[in-house]
Copies of this chain bind each other. A is one copy, B any other.
Amino acid sequence: MTTISDVAKKAKVSTATVSRVLNNSDKVRPATRDRVGEIIKELNFVPNVNALGLQRKKTKTIGLIFPDASAYYFAEIIQGINRHLSQNDHQILISSAHDEEEEIKTINGFVKGGRIDGLIMMMPSASDYKGLMIPLINNKIPVVLIACEIDAPRATTLLLDNYNSAKEMVHHLSDLGHKRIAFIHGGKHNYDAKERYRGYVDGRKEFQLEEREELEVVGNFTEASGYQSTITLMQRNPRPTAIFAANDAMAIGAIEAARVLKLSVPLDLAIVGFDDISSAAYTDPGLTTVHVPLRRLGHLAAESILKNLNMDPSERTTEKIIIPLQQVIRKSCGSKQESV
């Protein structure tokens, strides 16, 4: 490993001078600047990050915590984050949560160990406010929470407008004449799932639709659970005329179930989802859903982190950004006009 003193020696200057040209700060005589620069290139010298971190107390890396499940969802967000962050010379350190307790330990280690300069958390089922936030607040690291419902002073929280979009979807279905709309839940503790459900419930109320308990069934965001849930729902009496699945994967399972049950979608049964994953446009019939701009979400997260990085902790504000979502009307709801 070549160090700064190797460079210094070869250039016959002190390490201080090399450091100066490295940070192209101060006034270094052009002649020496060039000479040292040459040698840096020649030796292919890269400063040691640990030494830098130790000195500067900055690591140029952002921690990223995300749940173990729903790989697709988070992969897109990560790409969004990464693109923006890497352009700004920052790296991403990832850690995937199994359970909340373990996650708190990880965060604590990251922050107190000086491993990261900022933190982005996607923990849709987080609950332990104190365990999660206290170390962060104490350590004055900027934080972005994605789809996370804990109260976080001086942090940026990025939320999808699940509630209104879900309600809007119920509205749409109601407009098409449906009175009995079923709902397939996502994960029990999942923030998005809960908000979507809340929108469904309030929509039901608002448009005076049936509100029986038999219209709800619990899934877990997978195609298989959507399939199974639909089979269950259609055995009930009376049957729903429409199914609102908390995400597209379950909606895809629901469509398959309808096929097996020889029900026509949307004639016998309307089915709608949430997320607008890439294959939603290619189901039969095309899936009516709500588009979630995942990359944009990632981009916003990165932007916020970067903005807060150089800010004095006391200047940071508590921000809550609610991202409006776009309904995508395809055929599976029975609507005539198709959006997009």
Residues of A within 8 A of B (CB): 1-2, 44-54, 59, 61, 68, 71-72, 74-76, 78-79, 82-83, 86, 91-96, 106, 108-109, 112-115, 139, 222-223, 227, 249, 252-253, 255-256, 259, 278-279, 281-284
Q: Please, which residue of chain B has its CB at the minimum distance from the CB of A92?
A: B94
Which chain B residues border A223 with CB–CB below 8 Å?
A: 278-279, 281-282
- Inter-chain CA distance A61–B47, complex, in Å, is 18
Are A96 and B83 also in contact (CB < 8 A) when A54-B51, A278-B222 are? yes
- Inter-chain CA distance A315–B220, complex, in Å, is 47
Q: Please, which residue of chain B has its CB at the minimum distance from the CB of A80?
A: B71
- Inter-chain CA distance A252–B281, complex, in Å, is 10
Q: Please, which residue of chain B has its CB at the minimum distance from the CB of A109?
A: B46
Which chain B residues border A112 with CB–CB below 8 Å?
A: 1-2, 44-46
Instruction: Let me know if B91 and A79 touch, CB within 8 A.
Output: no
Instruction: Let me know if B47 and A50 touch, CB within 8 A.
Output: no
- Inter-chain CA distance A118–B293, complex, in Å, is 34
Beyond known contacts A49-B115, A259-B284: 13 more, CB 8 A cutoff:
A44-B112, A49-B114, A51-B54, A61-B93, A71-B79, A75-B78, A82-B95, A83-B96, A91-B115, A92-B93, A223-B282, A279-B279, A284-B284
- How often does this chain occur in the complex, in copies? 2
A216 to chain B, nearest CB (A): 22
Which chain B residues border A91 with CB–CB below 8 Å?
A: 93-95, 115
Closest 7 CB pairs between A and B? A75-B75, A50-B53, A46-B112, A71-B75, A50-B54, A256-B282, A49-B113
Which chain B residues border A86 with CB–CB below 8 Å?
A: 95-96, 106
Which chain B residues border A283 with CB–CB below 8 Å?
A: 283
Q: List 15 A-B contacts (CB under 8 A).
A: A1-B139, A46-B109, A48-B113, A50-B59, A54-B54, A68-B79, A68-B83, A72-B72, A72-B75, A83-B96, A86-B96, A93-B94, A249-B278, A253-B282, A255-B284
A338 to chain B, nearest CB (A): 14
- Inter-chain CA distance A92–B227, complex, in Å, is 35
- Inter-chain CA distance A11–B283, complex, in Å, is 66
Which chain B residues border A252 with CB–CB below 8 Å?
A: 279, 282
Instruction: Let me know if B46 and A113 touch, CB within 8 A.
Output: yes
